[in-house]
Amino acid sequence: MQRLTVKTTELANIDALERRLRGKIIQTHVQGDEAVVELQPTAALDWYVNVWNYQAIIIADGKPLDIEDFDRELYAELEWHVMESLGGAVNLSGQYYPQDAEALEMFERLLASRRSPT
């Protein structure tokens, strides 16, 4: 986790600020014209593992990736890799963003494993 100071005007566009800072903003503390942001650095912002109610699913570009459309073993392996890299598990709800190059490479392999619609 990192703490950074930004101008409060930058908080108007959180997505742009997260892209610039290369991480997910967890919390902000506004102090006049400045804000202290707590940031979780990430390797990518366009996909993550969403965990809720003991279920994990990969979300890419805002849409869930159906495990049936991909290599099931690789899908599950990627979910666990991302969750465990942040100390998470399927019993800890939240959004887990990829933290390392290995997760990015696994994600690319997962996309390459997409089954053609029949």
CB 53: neighbour CB atoms within 10 A?
7
What local confidence, expressed as pLDDT, does residue 36 receive?
96
| Residue 79 contacts residue 56 (beta carbons within 8 Å) | yes
33-62 pLDDT, tens digit each: 999 999 999 999 999 999 999 999 999 999
What local confidence, expressed as pLDDT, does residue 59 receive?
98
What local confidence, expressed as pLDDT, does residue 31 receive?
93
69-117 pLDDT, tens digit each: 999 999 999 999 999 999 888 889 999 999 999 999 999 999 999 987 6
pTM score, whole prediction: 0.84
Q: Label residue 118 by pLDDT band (50, 70, 90).
A: low
- Residues pairing with 39 in the sheet: 2, 25
| Residue 1 contacts residue 39 (beta carbons within 8 Å) | yes
What local confidence, expressed as pLDDT, does residue 90 receive?
86
- Residues pairing with 57 in the sheet: 50
Question: Hey, where are the domains in the chain?
Answer: 2-41, 47-112
**Which amino acid, residue 86?**
L
What local confidence, expressed as pLDDT, does residue 1 receive?
84
**Which amino acid, residue 71?**
D
Helix (H, G, I), strand (E, B) or coil at 63: strand
Q: Label residue 11 by pLDDT band (50, 70, 90).
A: very high
